[in-house]
Amino acid sequence: MSVITLLTDFGLQDEYAGVMKGVILAINPAAVLVDVTHQIDSRDVVQAAFVIHGAYRFFPGGSVHLVVVDPGVGTGRAILALKAGGHVFIAPDNGVLTLLLEKIQTPSLFRLTNEAFYLRPVSGTFHGRDIMAPVAAHVSRGTALEEIGVPIDPEQAVRLEDLAPVICADGRVEGRIVAVDSFGNLITSIDSATLARACNRGPMNKVQVKIGRQTINGLSQSYGNVAADRLLALVGSRGYLEIAVNQGSAARRLKVKKRDVVRLIP
C-alpha cells in the first residue's frame, strides 16, 4: 500500500490539488490519495503544523504526507523530508514540521537536493506540483530518502516559536488559540499531556479556563454535557484543549481570534 495525503492552503476552487494528484499517479499508479484538507488559512504555517501533527497518526504506518503551505515558494527556502514515527513528511523548511520534530522520537531529516526526482522544468511558483508531489510519489514507491536528499541535523530546521504551551511556576498553563474550525470551535495549543501534568494538583472538574474576559469552570466530556448555547471547554478529538458552544459557535460568541492567549488554572 502507498497512501499519500495532501494538506495545503490552495482551496478547492482551482485545479492545483488535482494537478498534484495527476503528477503523483503518473509516477506511482498504485498511490492511494487522501485529502487531509486544502483549506488551511492562507499561508498559516502554525495552523498547518497543528493539523498535520493531530492527523498523521490516524493514517496507516508508511504513509507519505505532503504539507504544502509554502508562502516562501520561489525564494531560497529548502524543502525537507522527515521520517518520524513510521511516517514520511514532505514540506517546505518554514516551521510547519515543528511539532513533529519536537514530539516524535528519533526523527531523521533530509534536505531535498536530487533534481532527478523533480518534474522538469521546475516552475518558480508551484513547487508543490514540481518538487514535492513527484518526490512523495517516488518515496511511496520505495525510493530511499538518502537518494533524494542529504541528511541534516533536525536542529537546523526552521522552528516556529511559541507553539508549546507554558506551565508557569504557580501551575497555571498558558497557551494560544491556533485554529478555529468550521463549527466555530476554538482549538488551543494546550495538549492533553500538558493538561494532565498541570492537573496533577487537582481534580479536572475544578479546572478553570480563562479566555478574554470569560471563565469556564470545569472540563466537559462532550458538547452535550452542557445545555444548548452554553460555553464549555473540553479535550477535543485532536487531543488538544478546545473551547466550544454546544450547538453554537464559540468564535462568534467570544469574538476572539487566532493567537489569543488561553489560560488554564488547575
Provide the binding-site residues for a copy of itself, judged by CB under 8 A. Answer: 1, 3, 5, 7, 10-15, 17-19, 21-23, 25-26, 29, 32-39, 42-43, 51, 54-55, 58-61, 63, 71-75, 123-126, 129-130, 181-183, 220-225, 234, 236-237, 247
Which one, 157 or 219, has the nearer CB to a copy of itself? 219
Which one, 40 or 109, has the nearer CB to a copy of itself? 40
Tell the smallest beta-carbon distance from residue 171 to a copy of itself (Å): 25
Which one, 33 or 78, has the nearer CB to a copy of itself? 33
Tell the smallest beta-carbon distance from residue 151 to a copy of itself (Å): 28
Tell the smallest beta-carbon distance from residue 40 to a copy of itself (Å): 9
Tell the smallest beta-carbon distance from residue 30 to a copy of itself (Å): 8
Which one, 36 or 109, has the nearer CB to a copy of itself? 36
Which one, 61 or 212, has the nearer CB to a copy of itself? 61
- Identify the sign of the CA torsion 109, 115, 120, 121: positive
Tell the smallest beta-carbon distance from residue 149 to a copy of itself (Å): 22
- Identify the sign of the CA torsion 179, 210, 164, 76: positive
Which one, 59 or 174, has the nearer CB to a copy of itself? 59
Tell the smallest beta-carbon distance from residue 231 to a copy of itself (Å): 15
